Amino acid sequence: MTSLATVKLTARQRGDFQTPEELAREVWSTLDAAQYDLVIEPTFGLGSFLTTMPSECKANVLGWEIHKIYYQAMIATFGEKIDSSRVRLLRRDVFTASGTDITATPDSTVLVIGNPPWVTNSEQGTLGGANSGEKRNLKNLSGFAAMTGKSNFDISEAIILHFVSLLKDRCRSVQFALLTKFSVVRNLVQFLAPHASIGDYEFHKIDSALHFNAAVDAGLLKFRLDKNSELRQTCWMYASVGGAKVGEIGLVNNKLIYDLAAYRRTGFMESDGRSGYVWRQGVKHDMSKRMELSETAGGIRNGLGELVDVEDAVLYQLYKCSDIFHGRQSRYVVPIHQRDLKDNLEDLPERFPKLHLYFTKHEAAFRARKSSIYRNRPTFSIFGIGDYTHYVYKIAIGALYSAPVFRLLEPNPRPAIVDDTSYMLATNDYDEAVYLLAIVNLDCSREFLNSISHATEKRRFSKDVLARLLIPPMEKCPPELRHKLKCEWARSRTFSTELQRSIQDWLSKDQPKRTEKMNFELLPNALTL
Ligand SMILES: C[S@@+](CC[C@H](N)C(=O)[O-])C[C@H]1O[C@@H](n2cnc3c(N)ncnc32)[C@H](O)[C@@H]1O
């Protein structure tokens, strides 16, 4: 294999974000520097974690850096500051680090400190680089490839795991203190969960725009490896480096929970496959200029400004993700000419001749759609369509927002549909629509959904997240509650706090026996509205 140290990597391939000394000092201030025998800086760069090492730290120092200019600069500056017999700085690819480089003894206390590269393996792919360590020396951490093999992972994740693997049987304890993206923390907490001697995770948020001019959710990740102890498996979250503790994340039944306190209160809303309803993604057509039509005083126009003459009955009212979130009226109508995904649209000319004529005029644009989902499908086909699309009432949520806002969409006067960045429950029964709205809008539902998803996810309220919310079939709801729901909604189009509490009580008491391992007891009685 070519040595990476002989390859010219760009700054992006090296994930180069040099840490300001002030931030490195903050990181050191959270550590007891005097206790370590060996300090490892996996990718030291210009070396701020080494140049700011507190004087009470008498440890040996070991580090790697691939970039020649940084290496030379570091040797020049650091060499003057510290007794060189204690220091071993290598101009090498860190993925070549092996057991023979580690000078620790079984009694050693080691600190791994630094800021490994901020770049993902897929970015490496597009940059034509090979700086991922993917196929190098991670095989001894079985399961890593299975978990991250084909998916995208940060190369800092691979570097951290490389050192976990190198150090776990070579010393007494290791403290890791590394600046990383939050996504790395998520993966590590999940991946390392089976190892009881690895834990005590902490994540201290940093202002990455201020320190690195980068819009990334990043922070200081600390965790310990102590072969003689059982460590806490959850990760405490801090508002800033050494700042206030603001939460706790951890695994429950192998799924990451982003707010354990909230989940303890609302985990009874975990459906465990018992939900009576299926969330559906909205309509996808990739033809917004031609399919999203505006109703104007002068008639219906498309996004190209053309007047469009199509059958009234085929037009449905479109609610986009932002319309749902902001409680706005629909701004467009969309032709829904397809019955479901099996519909071959052969009878389209007979069913909707005017629409067929309009589509035929724009056939070239339909054929030019890039997404592979349209391949081998009828030319005018659209996606996210089923019998549910034609149901009269929809309970909708825009998935791209970081707060769960649900709305009941009623025909006005046309049936409502949602776009493909939104999800919905659909029914023809008005009472059922009201029941569904009441359940999804409970405080415990929203708190539960927030606890199982993370605000930085692009599609936070995905189908998978929504499917975890317990919504029993309406027939299971006690008749007196159903009656109250109907009456209150008819009277005021809201649900009283008292009624919401009653529904929440019903949901929290109707608990099946859980068989899987939970790392705490659920507390259904600690409910708050
Ligand atoms: C995010 S910067 C941080 C540098 C330094 N630790 C600091 O905190 O300022 C990452 C560093 O990793 C170096 N690097 C990237 N890939 C490497 C590899 N495979 N082996 C060694 N160093 C590498 C880069 O050149 C860069 O200096």
CA distance 401 to 457: 9
Number of other residues whose CB lies within 10 A of the CB of residue 91: 16
5 Cα to the center of ligand 1, angstroms: 12
Protein residue whose Cα sits closest to atom 16 of ligand 1: 14
Give the atom of ligand 1 at the shortest distance from the alpha carbon of 179: 8
- Pocket test of ligand 1: the residue of 43, 154, 211, 221 to mutate, having most ligand atoms within 8 Å of its CB, is 43
Tokens found for residue 339: 């019955």
Give the atom of ligand 1 at the shortest distance from the alpha carbon of 64: 21
Protein residue whose Cα sits closest to atom 18 of ligand 1: 93
Q: Supply the pLDDT for residue 135.
A: 36
Q: Supply the pLDDT for residue 14.
A: 74
Q: What residues does ligand 1 touch, defined as CB less than 6 Å away? A: 4, 14-19, 43-46, 48-49, 64-67, 70, 93-95, 114-115, 117-118, 131
> The whole model's pTM is what?
0.85
Report which secondary-structure segment, H or E, holds 449: helix 443-452
| DSSP letter assigned to residue 86 | G
pLDDT tens for the 529 residues of the chain, in order: 445 555 667 777 777 889 999 999 999 999 999 999 999 999 999 999 999 999 999 999 999 999 999 999 988 877 666 667 889 999 999 989 999 999 889 999 999 999 999 877 666 555 555 555 543 333 344 444 444 444 566 889 989 999 999 999 999 999 999 999 999 999 999 989 889 999 999 999 999 999 988 888 999 999 999 988 999 999 999 999 999 999 999 999 889 999 999 999 999 999 988 888 999 999 999 999 999 999 999 999 999 999 999 999 999 999 999 999 999 999 999 999 999 999 999 999 999 999 999 999 999 999 999 999 999 999 999 999 999 999 999 999 999 999 999 999 999 888 899 999 999 999 999 999 999 999 999 999 999 999 999 998 889 999 999 999 999 999 999 999 999 999 999 999 999 999 999 999 999 986 554 434 444 333 332 222 2
Q: Are 109 and 37 in contact (CB under 8 A)?
A: yes
Residue 153's closest CA among 188, 177, 179, 178? 188
CA distance 142 to 515: 27
CA distance 422 to 419: 6
143 Cα to the center of ligand 1, angstroms: 26
Query: In angstroms, what CA-CA distances link 117 with 96, 112, 131, 176?
Result: 16, 14, 10, 15
- Pocket test of ligand 1: the residue of 9, 65, 74, 135 to mutate, having most ligand atoms within 8 Å of its CB, is 65
Q: Supply the pLDDT for residue 75.
A: 86
Strand ordering across the sheet containing 416-418 = 332-335, 315-319, 416-418
- Pocket test of ligand 1: the residue of 4, 14, 90 to mutate, having most ligand atoms within 8 Å of its CB, is 14
Ordered domains of the chain (ranges, CATH): 4-249 (3.40.50.150), 280-512 (no CATH)
208 Cα to the center of ligand 1, angstroms: 17
Tokens found for residue 290: 């031609």
Protein residue whose Cα sits closest to atom 19 of ligand 1: 93
405 Cα to the center of ligand 1, angstroms: 42
Q: Answer whether the bond into residue 413 is a cis peptide, omega within 30°.
A: yes
- Pocket test of ligand 1: the residue of 3, 50, 61, 66 to mutate, having most ligand atoms within 8 Å of its CB, is 66
133 Cα to the center of ligand 1, angstroms: 13
| Backbone angles phi and psi of 127, in degrees to 5 | -85, 0
Q: Supply the pLDDT for residue 510.
A: 65
Q: Supply the pLDDT for residue 104.
A: 87
40 Cα to the center of ligand 1, angstroms: 13
Q: Supply the pLDDT for residue 78.
A: 75
> 222: helix, coil or strand?
strand
Tokens found for residue 177: 């203190």
Give the atom of ligand 1 at the shortest distance from the alpha carbon of 19: 9
54 Cα to the center of ligand 1, angstroms: 21
Tokens found for residue 413: 């006067």
234 Cα to the center of ligand 1, angstroms: 28
67 Cα to the center of ligand 1, angstroms: 8
CA distance 330 to 348: 26
Give the atom of ligand 1 at the shortest distance from the alpha carbon of 41: 6
358 Cα to the center of ligand 1, angstroms: 57
Give the atom of ligand 1 at the shortest distance from the alpha carbon of 133: 19
Query: In angstroms, what CA-CA distances link 142 with 164, 401, 440?
Result: 13, 37, 40
Number of other residues whose CB lies within 10 A of the CB of residue 319: 26
Protein residue whose Cα sits closest to atom 10 of ligand 1: 117
CA distance 270 to 451: 11
Number of other residues whose CB lies within 10 A of the CB of residue 39: 25
Query: In angstroms, what CA-CA distances link 245 with 172, 258, 344?
Result: 28, 14, 57
Q: Where are the beta strands (DSSP E) in 393-500?
A: 393-398, 406-409, 416-418, 422-427
Report which secondary-structure segment, H or E, holds 502: helix 497-509
The pLDDT tens digits of the residues spanning 432-482 come to 999 999 999 999 999 999 999 999 888 999 999 999 999 999 999 999 999
129 Cα to the center of ligand 1, angstroms: 15
CA distance 242 to 232: 19
150 Cα to the center of ligand 1, angstroms: 24
